Amino acid sequence: MKSKNIILLGLLGFAAFESFGQDKKAAAEQKQIVDGLDKKKDHYAGISKQIWDLAEVGYQEYKSSEILQEELKKEGFAVEKGVAGIPTAFVATYGSGKPVISILAEFDALPGMAQEAVSEKKIIEGQKAGHACGHHLFGAGSAAAAIAVKDWLKNGGKAGTIKLMGCPAEEGGSGKVYMVREGIFKDSDIVLHWHPSDRNGANPSSSLANISGKFRFTGIAAHAAGAPERGRSALDGVEAMNNMVNMMREHVPQETRIHYVITRGGEAPNVVPAFAEVYYYARHPNREVVRDVWSRMEKAAEGAAMGTGTKVELEITGGAFDLLPVESLAKAMYKNLEVVGGVKYTPDEAAFAEKLAPSLTTPGKAALAYTEAEKVMPFSTKLESMGGSTDVGDVSWAVPTVGLGAATWVPGTPAHSWQAVAAGGMSIGPKGMMVAAKTLALTAIDLFKDPALIKTAQADWLKARGEDFKYEALVGNRKPALDYRK
């Protein structure tokens, strides 16, 4: 009996030693990947800055897209551009066979957000747009991750395919929706993504589904003083619609968000406007609620046109599903984010953050300490909505998808702000970008090494999505709205 115990203890000891050896080997491999990305951090920061300087808006990102394509071609990727009928969309592929792991990349800027990379509000003269959502970092960081995974596949002689999906016009143009609709993701096993943020986290989360579109009213021009009775004001149509939609707000589910801008209101006060346009968004966590709210908005537009003697036409320019989280994938990504860690500011970056902080406060609330960027937020399975919308939502209903947020902005910075543009254009932005690149690369490599993780994620995803799910884009059958920013 004693000899059997000794043998058993010996076997257990060998197993523990073997496990220790495997863990040590895995840690060494992770360090090699991270170190390799660190060596190229200045190069990738330079790419992100080029795209930041260009600040090209949705579907007009010709140069930004080309910069990323050329970088990937140089690294041995085969690049197919102009996919899904979108000139700036592309797919870069390296390797062959299964699994196929895809990483999303974005690169569109927001109109009206030109800002210098300084800690006070200072508009760049002559520039019409800015990267207030950090998509210049998104594109460059994802490309860095894909290249790191390519190197790992190549150096190890391993089977599998890594793809970088160049996704234009996330900001209201729904670029990925058309890519999903055209089957661009049909061969992918898992899709990875990230987004610039003010902190580091990888919790499973959802988003708001949305529909967006432009209501165009046509009336009859006339002299506003000499013959107003001959005119029919298109602007009256817009304002009547806005009044009715604003009255709707009391009678929709409380999580609903409706917002608009009048993009055309006429040319001169003394001319009855013959044309006016209003651009609307409707959002809700449930896409079926969004469909219903949008339908009511369309009826309001029709009523407004009837009441003002005008005509109205609608162009739906965008629409996105809510994000479908996969907890098992989120846990795998979080584990790697913990390995990578957060962002450590230099004295100059700390000074920038401290000078910026007063502009981030709201009444009764102090700014967050910049040291929050050093931390990784604790993992939580409590499902929360991130409060915005993203066309990644449609991808997540087509393929199991997982993402993270990385601290590319000073903690407390909201997206779509001049403060986000400023931090993204100086050294703080690229630091957070490299956190994301490392986490994406390590997670992709884990998926290549562990087929069981992919199978578990796919099973979890199918259960959450439902076996009988059929995809129907919220944009319907329309072609990409390539001119929605013009």
Q: Where are the domains of the chain?
A: 40-206+325-461, 209-320
**Spans in the chain with pLDDT lower than 70:** 1-22, 385-386
Q: Is the dihedral of CA 323, 384, 202, 48 positive or negative?
A: positive
Instruction: Tell me how many degrees the CA angle 390-105-127 measures, rounded to the nearest 5.
Output: 85
**Residue 58 in tokens:** 């949705």
pLDDT at 11: 53
The answer to whether the beta carbons of residues 399 and 191 sit under 8 Å apart is yes
Pure H helices in 40-60? 41-54
φ and ψ of 335, to 5 deg: -55, -40
- The rounded distance, in Å, linking the Cα atoms of 196 and 137 is 7
**What three-state secondary structure class fits 366?**
coil
Sign of the alpha-carbon dihedral angle for 410, 416, 421, 424? positive
Q: What is the DSSP letter of 161?
A: E
Residue 441: both structure tokens together: 């690369």
Report which of 284, 311, 308, 310 is spatially closest to residue 296, judged by C-alpha positions. 284
- Written as one letter, the residue type at 284 is H
> What is the model's pLDDT at position 24?
83
Could you give the dihedral angle defined by the CA atoms of residues 194, 200, 206 and 207, in that order, rounded to the nearest 10 degrees? -70
Q: Report pLDDT for 1.
A: 55
Whole-number Å distance between alpha carbons of 232 and 273: 8
Burial class (CB in 10 A: 0-12, 13-18, 19+), 219: buried
Rounded-to-integer distance, Cα 199 and Cα 410, Å: 8
Reduce the DSSP state of residue 114 to 3 states and report it: coil
Measure the CA–CA gap between 285 and 296, rounded to whole angstroms: 17
What sign does the CA torsion over 438, 440, 441, 446 have?
positive
Fold of 40-206+325-461: Aminopeptidase (3.40.630)
pLDDT of residue 446: 97
CATH entry 3.90.1720.10 includes domain 209-320: no
Helices 428-449 and 135-156, interaxial angle, to 10°? Answer: 40
Residue 13, pLDDT score: 57
Helix (H) or strand (E) holding 32: helix 2-39
Q: How many other C-beta atoms are found inside a 10 Å radius of the C-beta of residue 120?
A: 12
User: What span, in angstroms and rounded, lies between the C-alpha atoms of 59 and 88?
Assistant: 6
Cα(15)–Cα(9) distance, rounded to whole angstroms? 10
pLDDT at 310: 98
The Cα-based distances of 104 to 83, 140, 165, 184, 333 in angstroms read 14, 11, 5, 12, 15
Q: What is the DSSP letter of 92?
A: E
Q: Read off φ and ψ for residue 292, nearest 5 degrees.
A: -65, -45
Contact 91, 185 (CB under 8 A): no
> What is the DSSP track for 133-159?
T-HHHHHHHHHHHHHHHHHHHHHHT--
